[in-house]
Structure 1
Amino acid sequence: MGAWSMQGLGETREPGVGRPSATQRRLVFEHTVEGLFRFSLSSRLSAQAWQALRGAGIDLSKPLLPAYSDEAWKRGLEVAVADLYPLLPREEAWRQLGHEVVNGMTHTLMGRAMVGVARLLGPLRMLRRLNNTLRSADNYVEARITELSPTACEVGLNEVLEQPSYYQGFLEACVLLAGGQRVRTQVVSREGRGALLHVEWEE
């Protein structure tokens, strides 16, 4: 995809681990859905939003599926943004949702383990392992990291769901969990379905 032709991005993928093939379904895993909709947002969504989520393919009145299609996940995120942040500018609303998905995942079994590791590693080493975090959430988003300084990186993502500000919030929340302070992010460029983001923090 486009993001992978960006220049200057350091490779962080493990050998043999890549994006889904053309015939492989793009999936978001159960604990990602659980973290956002069962933990982070369960008491804040309206009845209309719960109904819209069912229509999108995420029925929270039933046991969660092992995985959901990326289309269902994207529709679910759009429902949450419209329901929770109707008065915010769209980019800020998606950035807030990026925070929510990380905060929700910290309440899941897998997320609690990841938080412990992130706090031990600190922001920079946590970002070096960003692909591990992304692969635990779904099977199609990948990152390449360029270290600019001990407190700044560029993050190239192959997929941003047409909403790079969502991943701004995601990265901000991850760095905060790892102990970073006063985290700032910026969209540097867009290319294809991906984007290049700048993230910096204070220790």
Structure 2
Amino acid sequence: MPATQRRLVFEHTVEGLYRVSLRNRLSPPARQALRAAGIDPSKPLLPAYSYETWRRGLEIAVADLYPLLSREEAWRRMGREVVNGLMHTVFGRAMVGVSRLLGPLRSLRRLNNTLRSADNYVESRLTELSPTSCEVWINEVMEQPTYYQGVLEACLALAGGQEVRVGVVAREGHGARLHVEWVD
């Protein structure tokens, strides 16, 4: 991505998380902090939000919803929340239908396109290890690779994967490698 291009998260991603998945679940102080950070789900959403605004909003939600969990588990759950909310948006329903038709492996083969539909800066690469096991590299994990662990768990479950297991293999700069396996 050119250095001059702003990193943006698209409206439907924000809608899925804050208007659907977390609707009425954030405390009043968290909702106020979210508005101060630049996200107000009670008003018309912007077409896109900056990476910084998105990340700050996630940090507010994680701290509010999961104060007793480890940081890693809290971020993993937030990754699942994003996917679970997105699937109830107009955009997300179409993606879920395609994923269910494709199944887990073919859905993972399209993961880069799926992630790029949520924002303009996350990229992924897939290394197939077997028909039910892959390694996924993601270039930007917001210093929280378990967030993408949750995202991948939720995506594979939607695609029909059973007994989905995702683990962080290594962090690499701003990115990470994750091992993904499932039962068809």
Q: Where on the TM-score scale, by shorter chain, does this alignment land: which range?
A: over 0.9
- Distance in 1 (CA, whole Å) between partners of 2:70 and 2:173 is 23
Say which structure, 1 or 2, has more relative contact order (CA 8 Å, 6+ apart).
Answer: 1
* 1:123 aligns to 2:85 (yes or no): no
SS at match of 1:48: helix
Amino acid at match of 1:140: Y
> TM-score if structure 1 supplies the norm length?
0.90
Write out aligned runs for 1:1-203 (5 A): 20-203=1-184
In the TM superposition, structure 1's runs of 4+ consecutive aligned residues that sit over 4 Å from their partners are none
Which residue matches 1:10? none
Structure 1 gap ranges (5+): 1-19
- Distance in 2 (CA, whole Å) between partners of 1:190 and 1:44 is 31
User: Deviation of residue 62 (structure 1)?
Assistant: 1.4
- Distance in 1 (CA, whole Å) between partners of 2:172 and 2:115 is 20
RMSD: 0.6
- Distance in 2 (CA, whole Å) between partners of 1:60 and 1:98 is 19
User: Deviation of residue 123 (structure 1)?
Assistant: 0.1
Deviations 1:165-185, CA, capped at 9 Å, x for gaps:
000000000000000011111
- Distance in 1 (CA, whole Å) between partners of 2:36 and 2:127 is 40
User: Deviation of residue 116 (structure 1)?
Assistant: 0.2
Deviations 1:84-116, CA, capped at 9 Å, x for gaps:
000011100000000000000001101000000
- Distance in 1 (CA, whole Å) between partners of 2:30 and 2:152 is 26
Determine what percentage of the aligned residue pairs are the same residue.
Answer: 77
> TM-score if structure 2 supplies the norm length?
0.99
- Distance in 1 (CA, whole Å) between partners of 2:183 and 2:153 is 12
Amino acid at match of 2:45: L
- Distance in 2 (CA, whole Å) between partners of 1:201 and 1:38 is 30
- Distance in 2 (CA, whole Å) between partners of 1:27 and 1:149 is 34
User: Deviation of residue 59 (structure 1)?
Assistant: 1.6
- Distance in 1 (CA, whole Å) between partners of 2:27 and 2:106 is 39
Structure 2 gap ranges (5+): none
Deviations 1:113-161, CA, capped at 9 Å, x for gaps:
0000000000000000001111110000000000000101000010000
Amino acid at match of 2:42: S
Amino acid at match of 1:23: T
Deviations 1:29-82, CA, capped at 9 Å, x for gaps:
000000000000012111111101011111222100000000000000000100
Amino acid at match of 2:59: E
Report the count of equivalent residues.
Answer: 184
